[in-house]
Structure 1
Amino acid sequence: MTVAAPPPPHAAPTAPTLTVANNSLYVSPGGSIPPLGLEVSVPHAGDNVTVNISGLPKYETITDKLDGKSFSESSVTLTAA
């Protein structure tokens, strides 16, 4: 008689980590714009992650460092795999 061991329990999913370098940026009118300083880390290489940034003024843009594309909408959704 052979008895198989039960399968190991599955680990709970691990959420991505969002790091914000400065959560209170201020830009004076006509001043230079500092980097937003957002970084997203995924627990497993190849995981998909989506970041939604909202409240962007009409005169500002956000540039995605992965592909260099700039966005100027009031709500920006970035997705990476």
Structure 2
Amino acid sequence: MEASDYAIKYPLDAVHVEKFAELIGKPKSAVEEMIKARKLPVIELRDPTKPNARAGERWVYIPEFNRAVREAYYNRPVEQRDAWLLWMGL
């Protein structure tokens, strides 16, 4: 398998929390908890005409998420990373 086989593909580099939750098959609340725990690469979009606004809109940056997932996968010990292949007879 190629590294690109594991990447989430979407025509935008960043998506809103609801769309990201849909892409990874998690509820929106789970993604929001991941954001609060700083487990996702987030871009906060703010209205430049309201610099003192309490909060902006949060979007998840997909290329960085894909890079980190790929790195985590390939940094696992080979016997763990490739264990699933045994179930397929490979």
> Do they fold alike, i.e. is TM over 0.5?
no
Higher helix share: 2
Higher strand share: 1
Interval containing the TM-score (normalised by the shorter chain): under 0.3
Q: Which has the larger radius of gyration?
A: 1
Greater length-normalized contact order (CA 8 Å, ≥ 6 residues apart): 2
